[in-house]
Structure 1
Amino acid sequence: MAMETEVATTTPQLALSDTDINWDRLDKTRFHIIGAILFTAQSALLHPTAVVKTRMQVASSGLSNMKGVSVFTHILKSDGIPGIFRGFGTSAIGSMPGRVLALTSLEMSKDIVLKHTQGSDIPEASRIGLANGVAGMVSNLVSCVYFVPLDVICQRLMVQGLPGTSSCRGPFDVIRRVVHAEGFRGLYRGFGLTAVTQSPASALWWGSYGAAQHIIWRSLGYKDDMDMKPSHVEMVTVQATAGMVAGACSSVITTPIDTVKTRLQVMDNYGSGRPSVLKTTRTLLNEDGWWGFYRGFGPRFLNMSLYGTTMIVTYELIKRLSVRPSLSSFG
């Protein structure tokens, strides 16, 4: 019994406030440097599922009807390891400035909403969910300006060689071809669809994550004014669970939109005129019916569930590591 008591008292404990660290408590330079390193590592782990998903959404009916594992095996056999990492270099390097923009707007927006709703009659779970939701939407709208062209470039690199797509020598060749064919607006194919649809989806994800985490903590008996503090293991488990649920739900809602957006951004064989959402939707319906909108759902569901879990655990870890020493409750 004495041994158990000693182990329990040496388990790292954290204040409940450390489960939701706000912008004004962070060392911004450390936050972005650590974020760049850890998020790049996370992206490397999940990139193959994004390649499989994208190829299933864009490919002819033969490949699109294959299961995700079969498509993954097919890519490995035909292109080897480099095939499942097509576009990763461009994505990893290109994402860094956009990530700074996205994370800064996310945290600043959340902080503003939390401060303006403090002391209101809104229930705490709803207030946190609202702040996270608004922050997610603002962050998505701001970062779309940067990430949509990057998506166009990376996805074209992922699917090159498939029917209806062009073969390119690298990211700069993709840019040259797109700009030559359509001007700079070609790099923003799918921008309107992304901004209008993904921003509410981002609000849903962040809002549900913030509210779910708050509810889980309260259901476990934790409150801000209590001496009882969660351990590192408890904190990671709760945050991972909330992130996984948010990611899984989001994938179900957004896969049809993502399929249309992906095809709109990469396909070149729609005949005369610039591709549009209507043309892309009609072509998809003619090819596979309504089920066609869920092409690549398995890999996308896996990608978003894993992404939701790993992203939020990584993100919360980055924030804990970036708390200014004078404001940290660690140790």
Structure 2
Amino acid sequence: MNTPPSARVSFGQTEINWDKLDKRRFYVVGAGLFTGVTVALYPVSVVKTRLQVASKEIAERSAFSVIKGILKNDGVPGLYRGFGTVITGAVPARIIFLTALETTKISAFKMIAPFELSEPTKAAIANGIAGMTASLFSQAVFVPIDVVSQKLMVQGYSGHAKYTGGIDVATKIIKSYGVRGLYRGFSLSVMTYSPSSAAWWASYGSSQRVIWRFLGYGGDSDAKTAAPSKSKIVLVQAAGGIIAGATASSITTPLDTIKTRLQVMGHQENRPSAKQVVKTLLAEDGWKGFYRGLGPRFFSMSAWGTTMILTYEYLKRLCATED
């Protein structure tokens, strides 16, 4: 394979680079696989969002109470509010994200190759740069979808307005604020998701190398070591996903809470600014207010990240071209 030396794993080829993928199959099969993952994990996003926007008077202070309330009032469909909007925008957003991720990762590995860095450090830097770049590119599509879906997630909850669907939300936002209304919280989204994506991919890339070395792979002795089995590769990738989720959620939950509150505000004339949202959170709960929904967010990022990365790696194996 024409793989940069720093991008190779010396214990056996466990990474499939962008130039070795059947792109058409990758996008088509990937759309189906990731849609299935979204169906499974979407309710966690709904619960996390409701926890973040709940007013001080709302009694629901735990994920369990939120789930219980949703099921009581709306049944299982309540856990999928805004799902249609998310799925509609998810496909183009993921195409942009994954394309930018893979192409940037290759360039980043080449860029840092001359430096005398350890393999985990190189992986962290290259994956981090790729994750941040991919997030920046995908925000143009993702933010409007995020704004609309989050309003649907919290409609009728804690004083929030009700809508007939995603189109109704978008129409009312554009009527009140123009297209810029769909990009409410864009700066905070970039500030939240770009570092989150960078932290996630950096942690994932470096933790794998560390785990492999702990298991006896890596270093000069690799030539005498048998290549890891597929099951072992999957377990290491899953562990990397969990570590990445824990790292990213811990770092970015405060910004995500502020961003979510800004995005779900109603159409009133004097909507609060980010500074005012911060003051409100501090007044209501102190600093812990910024970590509302940390449990669901951690679970979401770990579960989504682990499931996504295993699906992603499986997808790349399915779409790998023959040498």
Indicate the residue corresponding to 1:146 in structure 2: 141
Indicate the residue corresponding to 1:206 in structure 2: 201
Q: 2:236 aligns with which of 235, 238, 260?
A: 238
Indicate the residue corresponding to 1:174 in structure 2: 169
Matches within 5 A, 1:67-82: 67-82=62-77
- Counterparts of 1:133 and 1:239, CA distance in 2: 17
Matches within 5 A, 1:5-154: 16-63=11-58, 65-154=60-149
Q: Structure 1 residues 286, 245: closer, same or farther in 2, change over 3 A?
A: same
Tell me the SS of whatever aligns to 1:19: coil
Indicate the residue corresponding to 1:315 in structure 2: 312
Deviates more, 1:158-167 or 1:41-50: 158-167
Indicate the residue corresponding to 1:293 in structure 2: 290
Q: 1:250 aligns with which of 248, 257, 260?
A: 248
Indicate the residue corresponding to 2:321 in structure 1: 324
2:203/2:247 contact within 8 Å kept: no
Count of residue correspondences? 312
- Counterparts of 2:19 and 2:100, CA distance in 1: 13
- Counterparts of 1:164 and 1:105, CA distance in 2: 39
- Counterparts of 1:135 and 1:178, CA distance in 2: 33
1:240/1:309 contact within 8 Å kept: yes
1:157/1:171 contact within 8 Å kept: yes
The alpha carbon displacement at 1:274 in A equals: 4.3
The alpha carbon displacement at 1:226 in A equals: 4.8
- Counterparts of 1:304 and 1:231, CA distance in 2: 27
- What letter corresponds to residue 188 of structure 2 in structure 1? L
Indicate the residue corresponding to 1:4 in structure 2: none
- What letter corresponds to residue 242 of structure 2 in structure 1? M
Indicate the residue corresponding to 2:274 in structure 1: 277
- What letter corresponds to residue 96 of structure 1 in structure 2? V
- What letter corresponds to residue 253 of structure 1 in structure 2? I
Q: Structure 1 residues 184, 272: closer, same or farther in 2, change over 3 A?
A: same
- Counterparts of 1:87 and 1:19, CA distance in 2: 37
- Counterparts of 1:165 and 1:185, CA distance in 2: 21
1:132/1:210 contact within 8 Å kept: yes
- Counterparts of 2:12 and 2:152, CA distance in 1: 43
Deviates more, 1:124-133 or 1:281-290: 281-290
The alpha carbon displacement at 1:207 in A equals: 0.7
- % identical equivalent positions: 50
TM normalised by structure 2 equals 0.91
The alpha carbon displacement at 1:62 in A equals: 4.3
The alpha carbon displacement at 1:275 in A equals: 3.6
- Counterparts of 2:148 and 2:59, CA distance in 1: 21
1:38/1:314 contact within 8 Å kept: yes
- Counterparts of 2:12 and 2:98, CA distance in 1: 20
TM normalised by structure 1 equals 0.89
1:56/1:63 contact within 8 Å kept: no
- Counterparts of 2:316 and 2:224, CA distance in 1: 23
CA RMSD between the two structures: 1.9
Gaps of 5+ in 2: 1-8
- What letter corresponds to residue 103 of structure 2 in structure 1? M
Q: Structure 1 residues 302, 176: closer, same or farther in 2, change over 3 A?
A: same
Q: Structure 1 residues 112, 119: closer, same or farther in 2, change over 3 A?
A: same
Gaps of 5+ in 1: 1-13, 327-331
Q: Structure 1 residues 302, 279: closer, same or farther in 2, change over 3 A?
A: same
- What letter corresponds to residue 199 of structure 1 in structure 2? S
Q: Structure 1 residues 226, 158: closer, same or farther in 2, change over 3 A?
A: farther
